[in-house]
Structure 1
Amino acid sequence: MQHTAFLFLIPILFVFTLVGLSMGAKRLLGIRIGKIRAAIGGTVGVLATMQIIAVMGPSSHRPAMTSVQVGCGVLVTMLFLAVSEVLLPSSVLSDIVRLPGMMRRRVARTRRYAELSAIAMRNGLSPSLRGLARAGAKGSVEGRRHSARQLRMALEEAGATFVKLGQMLSTRYDLLPTEYIEEFSRLHHQATAEPWERVREVLVQELDIDPEKVFADFDREPLAAGSMAQVHRARLAGGQEIAVKVQRPGAELVVERDLDILLRIGRKLEEHTSWAQSLGLCDLINGFAVSLHEELDFRTEARNMTAIATGAVESGATSALRMPQVYEEYSTGRVLTLEWLDGVPLTSIGDALAERDLDGAALAQQLMECVLEQIMLGGVFHADPHPGNVLLLSNGELGLLDFGSVGRLDRTMRSALRDLLLAIHRNDPTALSDALLEVVDRPEQIDERLLERSLGRFMARHLGAGGKPNREIFSELFLLVARHDLTVPPEIAATFRALATVEGTVERLVPDFDIVAQARAFAAARVQDQMSYGRIKASLMEEAISLTSVMRRLPRRVDRISSALEGGRLGVQIRLLADERDRRFLRGLVHDVLLSFIGGIIALVGAVLLSIDSKPTIIGSVSLSQLIGYNMLVISCILVLRVVFSITRSRG
């Protein structure tokens, strides 16, 4: 019976020792390892300990030698983990574990690469990419226009992710030649509708209830179908007419796959082409990926609508367009339920204005003022007000749809943008230069006099007598900015893109609508409004309140400074190591130095103790001092190994 119990305890003792050795070695090395590596390391340590016990002979069974044996086992386990981590890092090991999934993704990516390569070859993109340089690229206009057309057709054929990339690039007047901007502005993508069965699956998954119990009626044929979502008309049980936007099944996986390919292509192009480096292509793609992920979450669109409506109320906007109400209880990340707006998009307006005796000029004025108020006052604006997103409602008003893409401007940026438009209104190149430098990301060195002269020539050409400014003024301005190595922030580029888009929209209502004159007049009116007695008084009161606490402390601080100056006690304090990264580096350095020093001292003391032949002996010929020396040498080796591994990892 005792023999059976002993046999039962052996595996438990083995597992306990294995876990103890692996956990101890991991903590001493200061690394994170997986369960498989920990089990292998612990097994190696146990086997090494057993071998050491066998080599030491009968004297090894005495309790006094246990510390040496365990220490040697820990040392062997640490050595195994350190060497295996250097030769096969945990990141590589985790990749090996995920290898089947990685292979499946690689096969899918390779198949997609083949599709994109075939699309590129069909559209002759190899030569066209050479002309895709920063704004102001050399070459014939006709050649760039032909290349841009080829690239636009290839993007449309490649799918929604690439179409949206082109639409984002169409806002970057400062980066691309005008011909590419014009072509990318025409990008659109219409996909085949998903069958009702798959749409119903998404509705059940997201709403957690059968659609028949939520909707009294649901049109199974979509009103519009894109590559990421499609829109159906429906009616709630209460009788409310609604529009239901449903994300396509698998849309997120398709976007992730294409974004991964885009990033890989971007890195390769930046390595081998100058135009990709000048564009900062990888940064552009990363920013695009962030915005596309937001667009995939329909809750973001709902929040955008709330933000625009709130901004209009708080800013006192007077020209807000009708926006659909969001039914939040029937909306999720993949389903968006909106109020149905009865009307026709401006793309299909035809002769509706004349038939219904509507004033197109008044509607155009209202739309333009609404966008300008969103930009200048609210700070959150619809970034893509194209004719398909603007409805002429049955009651003669205008409605706004699709808030998946919005722009945001902080108060400082809005103020600088207002100053820029006011400078254009006053035809003042000096003020325009100052406002422009507040808007763009300026380099360390810039010739402001040369920039001011260039802006003066620009204003004389476009805003002088006989000049008729239009939306091309924005692309010309961005082209001038690019020549002076200034970079326009994405939010400002989106602002001017929205203004250029809304001009094309209002032209559906009134041909030859002067958007520049409207923007100039709006900026001037806002400045004039700010200069009214009531606004000036309110601004002064706000500033006075914010300065009250500062002014109250100022006399006391001036007195302290003057007293310190008079007594020769005035000094300047400089905080060393204020950055956490510097403190972390210094802590690590001191830690390694101390461990090395302590390990060296322990090894030296251990060597001295081993050289002493003293009494009494406790295990054969091994004295107590020698036993302590052996333990100190083991501890020294553990400390030194920790330092060496730390240095090796930091260099790796």
Structure 2
Amino acid sequence: MIHTVKQFGRMLKISAILSRYQLDEFLEATHLYRPMRLLRTVTPWSRQDVSDKPRGERLRLALNEMGPIYVKFGQIISTRRDLVAPDIADELALLQDQVPPFPGAQAREIVESALGKPVSELFRSFDSEPLASASIAQVHTAILPDESEVVVKVVRPGIRKLIRRDIDLLMSIAQLAEKYWQTGSRVKPTEFVREFETFIFDELDMTREASNASALRANFEGSTDLYIPEIYWPYCKEQVLVMERVYGIPISDVQALKDAGVNMERLAKMGIRVFYTQVFRDNLFHADMHPGNILVDVSDPENASYIALDFGIVASLTPLDLYYISENFQALFNRDYFRVAQLHIDAGWVPHDTRVDELEASVRAVGEPSFSRPLNEISFGNLMLKLFQVAYRFKLDIQPQLIMLQKTLLNIEGLGRELFPELDVLAASKPELERIVREKHGIDQAAKDLRERLPGWLSKAPDMPGLLHDYLKLATEGKLVSKVDPRDLEQYRQEERQSSRRLMRTICGSALFFSGAVLLGFEVGPWQLFDLSAAGLLSTVTGAWLMLRANRS
């Protein structure tokens, strides 16, 4: 657990900070911290007079004192409102990732080392004074030889080693807490640390951030809703990112936006549209949409648009989760709680043996109070959080991507109501999701899917009769044997029924598809052309639909 003297010393220092802010419940979560009781007794002057401050604020102040890595860890914890008490989550959300800048000369050295040329050759000018500074990197402005204005993001020197040290220490603390803390096995602090480790090491790689930005830019090419700055790939390495410099009004400066003549209602609704487009059309969304990462282009105030910054955190969902999320949202829009419950079971988000009526009652208990509020107070981000809490009671472990989706939706709704307090999120969301689902699952998309999959199906067609014959032969001879735990028998039966339905759809679909293709290929006289062609077309389309449905299920 505690591997080195240095790590032990660092842990004692953290213990002292927690003690100073009277965070006794955190100190006593592990047996290792119990010696701190003696220190508190013999050094009472070391404890700050913070008795009038709530525990969430005391924890925020302590994390600030521990350093920037702990600040970022606190920010991540604040997003896990399905597990963390609301008072703590609210306070930790106020943590600011701000640290003193490192010298500009050092930034120039890192750029030159990464790109292999002197800064004077790479840029027409390079401002050694940083524009912004954070725990992972800092940003400098520059001008390229072709006069393009850019920003240069440079990873902080030595940060990887510091992060590794603190991650190892956090994991040691989490393991102790999981072992000795009364609720440790439920909250699973080691999972927090693993999520954080993945997230923060991804942020250290500037080429990953550049890839994220490029992908989002391609998705919104030509959009009048959202602009993504251009990435200058020849200047991007693991420690350096060079991106187009953009100008706009920070979205948090509501008065400046009003003074510029921006249509605030339109801007707020557009934010909802951008969110649903990123998630449900593209399945790639900016997962760090806090006010500091959004500008507004007001060059045309009546048609103002968003500008996104900082692409270190983007997320996507599995195709199955994306499907079930969209179906859940549509069911919630219609207050169809039975369907929400059934979808949770079908998706595997709750145990398969969960009673639908019990889950429906729990979903209704969180849904109806939300929908009974005034329209401008309904929040699907909060409703999604409450559904996570319901699912958690039914023994579900929430995936990090779904947490990021909920956090992003909550941020977008909050920003929208900052811009336009009367924003009706339901009225703005429902048509956007329905439009995207129609486009994604309509006849044009089905035809596109068919065109893409047809060559693969045709290549496998010659093998299908033999495979089907072998399968049926084994079944007839009773040689299809599987070992099933009696406890899993009902789940096995359910999956077997689903597999049988998929198999029948595939067989019938294949037969119809290929017989239709044969009919369409017949050379017939004019008196037979209509009947055979129509039959062939109908068989082909029906067969393709059955195979697509079998594949999706």
TM band (smaller chain): 0.7 to 0.9
- In structure 1, the residue matched to 2:232 is 327
Change beyond 3 A, Cα 1:573–1:564: closer
1:444 shift after superposition: 6.1
Separation in 2, partners of 1:426, 1:129: 47
Per the alignment, residue 25 of structure 1 pairs with none
1:436-447 counterparts in 2 under 5 A?
436-438=344-346, 441-443=349-351, 445-447=353-355
Cα offset, 1:372, TM superposition: 1.5
| 1:497 aligned residue | 407
Contact 2:228 2:309 in 1 (8 A): yes
Deviation, 1:398, is 1.8
Q: Which piece of structure 1 moves more, 201-210 or 528-537?
A: 528-537
Q: How does 1:290-301 map to 2 (within 5 A)?
A: 290-301=198-209
The CA deviation at 1:273 is 0.8
Q: 1:278 to 1:553 in 2, by over 3 A?
A: same
Paired with 2:472 and 2:167, the residues of 1 have a C-alpha distance of: 61
Q: Deviations over 1:389-408 (max 9, x none)?
A: 00123524320000001111
Rounded to whole Å, the distance in 1 between the matches of 2:356 and 2:423 is 34
Counterparts in 2 of 1:544 and 1:369: CA distance versus 1, 3 Å: same
Q: Is the 8 A contact 1:174 1:481 kept in 2?
A: no
TM-score normalised by length of structure 2: 0.74
Number of the residue aligned with 2:133: 225
Q: Which of the residues 336, 341, 344 maps onto 2:249? A: 344
Please list the CA deviations of residues 611-648 of structure 1 after superposition, one character each: whole Å capped at 9, or x if unmatched.
Answer: xxxxxxxxxxxxxxxxxxxxxxxxxxxxxxxxxxxxxx
Amino acid corresponding to residue 329 of structure 1 in structure 2: P
Q: How many residues align?
A: 456
- The residue number in structure 1 matching 2:261 is 357
Return the offset for 1:239: 1.2
Q: Give the alignment of 1:426-441 within 5 angstroms.
A: 426-438=334-346, 441=349
Superposition deviation, residue 267 in structure 1: 0.8
- CA distance in structure 2 between the aligned counterparts of 1:327 and 1:339, rounded to whole angstroms: 8
Is the Cα–Cα contact under 8 Å of residues 19 and 27 in structure 2 kept in the other structure? Answer: no
1:262 Cα deviation (Å)? Answer: 0.3
Q: Which has the larger radius of gyration?
A: 1
Aligned pairs for 1:403-414 (under 5 A) are: 403-414=311-322
Match of 2:289 among 385, 389, 406: 385
The range that moved more, 249-258 or 147-156, is 147-156
Tell me, in whole angstroms, the C-alpha distance in 1 between the residues paired with 2:418 and 2:266. 13
What does residue 378 of structure 2 align with? 469
Q: Please tell me whether the aligned partners of residues 315 and 404 of structure 2 are also in contact (alpha carbons under 8 angstroms).
A: yes
In the alignment, the residues of structure 2 paired with residue 562 and residue 333 of structure 1 have an alpha-carbon distance, to the nearest angstrom, of: 55
1:588 is matched with none
The yes-or-no answer on 1:123 pairing with 2:31 is no
Q: Secondary structure at the match of 1:351?
A: helix
Identity, % of aligned pairs?
26
How far residue 196 of structure 1 moved from its aligned partner, in angstroms, is 2.0
Q: Quick one: distance in 2 between partners of 1:427 and 1:417?
A: 15
- Structure 2 counterpart SS, 1:325: coil
C-alpha deviation, 1:205, in angstroms: 1.9
Q: Deviations over 1:493-542 (max 9, x none)?
A: 11011111122222342224333443333222333445655445555666
Partners in 1 of 2:309 and 2:346 — Cα distance? 32
CA distance in 2 between partners of 1:253 and 1:281 (Å): 22
Give deviations 1:460-503, integer Å, cap 9, x for gaps.
22224867422432332222222222221111111011111122
Correspondence for 1:419: 327
What SS does the aligned partner of 1:246 have? Answer: strand
Q: How does 1:487-636 map to 2 (within 5 A)?
A: 487-530=397-440, 532-535=442-445, 538=448, 570-572=477-479
Letter in 2 for 1:336: L
Partner Cα separation in structure 2 for residue 128 and residue 475 of structure 1:
25
SS in 1 for 2:238: coil
Which secondary structure state, in structure 2, belongs to the residue aligned with residue 274 of structure 1?
A: coil
Aligned twin of 2:368: 460
Report the CA distance shift for 1:311/1:279 in structure 2 as closer, same or farther (over 3 A): farther
Partner of 1:9: none
> Whole-Å Cα distance in 2 between the matches of residues 443 and 266 of structure 1?
27
SS in structure 1 at match of 2:57? helix
**1:154 counterpart = 2:52:** no
User: How much has 1:341 moved relative to structure 2?
Assistant: 0.2
- 1:222–1:231: 8 Å Cα contact kept in structure 2? yes
Amino acid at match of 1:572: K
Structure 1 residue 443: deviation in Å? Answer: 3.7
Alignment partner, residue 264 of structure 1: 172
Structure 1 pair 401–530 and aligned structure 2 pair: CA distance change class (3 A): closer
Q: 2:113 aligns with which of 172, 181, 205?
A: 205
Partners of 1:259 and 1:289 within 8 A in 2: yes
CA distance in 1, matches of 2:286, 2:395: 29
**C-alpha spacing 1:186/1:474, structure 2 compared with 1 (3 Å):** farther
More displaced, 247-256 or 431-440? 431-440
Deviations 1:28-58 (A, max 9, x none): xxxxxxxxxxxxxxxxxxxxxxxxxxxxxxx
Q: CA 1:194–1:544 in 2, change beyond 3 Å: closer, same or farther?
A: closer
Q: Which region of structure 1 is more displaced relative to structure 2, 169-178 or 395-404? A: 169-178
Change (3 A) 1:512 1:182: farther
Instruction: Answer 1 or 2: higher relative contact order, Cα 8 Å, separation at least 6.
Output: 1
Alignment-mate amino acid for residue 25 of structure 2: P
2:306 is the alignment partner of 1:398:
yes
User: Deviations 1:256-300 (Å, cap 9, x if unpaired)?
Assistant: 111011011011111101322112211221122122111111111
* Contact persistence 2:151–2:245 (CA under 8 A): yes
The aligned amino acid for 1:480 is V
Partners of 2:479 and 2:340 in 1: CA distance: 40
C-alpha distance in 2 between matches for 1:163 and 1:174: 20
Once superposed, what is the RMSD of the aligned Cα atoms? 3.2
